Amino acid sequence: MGMASNSTTFRIVISGYYGFRNSGDEAVLRSILLALKEQGKRANVTIVPIVLSNDSALTTAMYGVESMPRMHPASLWKALKSADALISGGGSLLQDATGKKTIPYYTGVIKLAQWLGKPTFIYAQGLGPVNSRAMFPLISSAMKKSSYISVRDEQSARLLRNVGVVKQPIDVVPDPVMGMPLPDRQTAWKAMEQDKPVIGVSVRFWRSDRQELDSIAAALLKLMNERDVHIRFLPFHTPDDVEASRYVHNLIVPHLNKASTLEIADVEDDPQQMLLAVSQCDVLFGMRLHALIYAANQRIPLIGLSYDPKIDQFLERIGSEAIGSTEQLNADQFTTKVMQLLDGKDKWKTDKEPYISQLIEQSQKPAQQLIQFLRQNISR
């Protein structure tokens, strides 16, 4: 690898749920890349990333990095063989709620890197749920041989201890997206000027009967009929969230009888542009975890709807709790809460600032630890 301008260079493969046009996961990747660049600069280290992606061309175009197909064995082998280390994460990679192949795939990538003699780093992962005990040995084996482990909540750390990872240190750190900055090109996405408060809304499909979206539509309609607001749907995972947003939108429109308005925002795939869109809201209501993280990042008062423990775990870290769940959302309570936040934005920001500032600072720790390990253990 050699030296470049007196800066030591390391090639790092990054494995995660990338290249699927999910704004939250793309934000994780962007945040990891920015943290590695920033911490590398401080340590006089240059990190050359190789991202395993579902859409290599998209990933290369979006981030300007080398990318390999995540499901192509020869490409995976080539990437790991040429690298100095592997990052696995962040995001919710080690869980079996989305399918039985998820954990075997991600632990398989980790084990292959270890078999090739490459140090592996678990980067701010959220683990679970793991419903099949048959997955425990896969997780335990991959973790026990990793050089550094960090998870994004205490529940993930407990799960690792329960599957047998008992001797290795485990850092509990924030989601990497807490450290993501706004884009340099702040004019790339610009909202239409509004003469009323803007409520950002991030929804997703969850229940097969759509009851959660019906309840959200009822809650938003009550709010819009009691106070003039502008609802801005923010689809974090296209095209699915666009369809979910349209479903709620279409339920509201026939019954809207005041001056409130609504739109489905068309934000480009770059996660920093979505962060910019969130920053232009007065309050954000979200089902997606990263919609809530974006809002916290930008000190936008937020309300979370729980569909997964990771929502409750994040809200707890900023001293909040969910307004409801996919099983139950009270329209009166929702409306009251939104109006309280609109009228008390400054107080919310003051109350939450200590939590948020700490999370932003701690979000850099995995990158710091990785670069320190590389400098101390890989000779040039």
pLDDT for 1: 40
Residues 6+ apart with CB under 8 A from 192: 263
Residue 180's closest CA among 110, 98, 271? 271
pLDDT for 262: 95
- At 238-259, the pLDDT tens digits run 899 999 999 999 999 999 988 9
How many C-alpha atoms does 206 have within 13 Å on its Cβ side?
18
From the centroid of its chain, how far is CA 31? 9
In this model, does residue 190 exceed pLDDT 90? no
pLDDT for 4: 40
Q: 248, 217 in Cβ contact below 8 A? A: yes
Of residues 154 and 194, more confidence is placed in: 154
| Phi and psi based region of residue 116 (left: phi greater than 0; alpha: psi -120 to 50; beta: remaining) | alpha
Q: Do domains 3-173+363-377 and 198-359 have the same CATH topology?
A: yes
Band of pLDDT at residue 194, cut at 50, 70 and 90: confident
With vertex at residue 282, the alpha carbon angle to CA 277 and CA 283, rounded to the nearest 5 degrees, is: 95
What 3-state DSSP class applies to 165? Answer: coil
Cα separation, 125 vs 356, in Å, equals 19
| Alpha carbon separation from 236 to 27, 57, 128, 251, 380 (Å, rounded) | 10, 20, 21, 20, 42
- At 99-153, the pLDDT tens digits run 999 999 999 999 999 999 999 999 999 999 999 999 999 999 999 999 999 999 9
Any idea which fold 198-359 has?
Rossmann fold (3.40.50)
End-to-end Cα distance, the chain: 8
Does residue 176 have a cis peptide bond before it, meaning omega lies within 30 degrees of 0?
no
Task: At 268, list the tokens.
Answer: 């480009």
Pick the CATH number of 3-173+363-377 from 3.40.50.2000, 3.30.70.580, 3.30.565.10, 2.60.40.650: 3.40.50.2000
- At 50-59, the pLDDT tens digits run 999 999 999 9
Band of pLDDT at residue 380, cut at 50, 70 and 90: low
pLDDT for 50: 98
Cα separation, 54 vs 190, in Å, equals 29
Task: At 366, list the tokens.
Answer: 């995995």
Tokens 């009888």 belong to 257
Query: Please, what is the average pLDDT of the chain?
Result: 94
Please report, for the chain, the start and end positions of each structural domain, with discontinuous segments joined by +: 3-173+363-377, 198-359
pTM for this model (two decimals) = 0.89
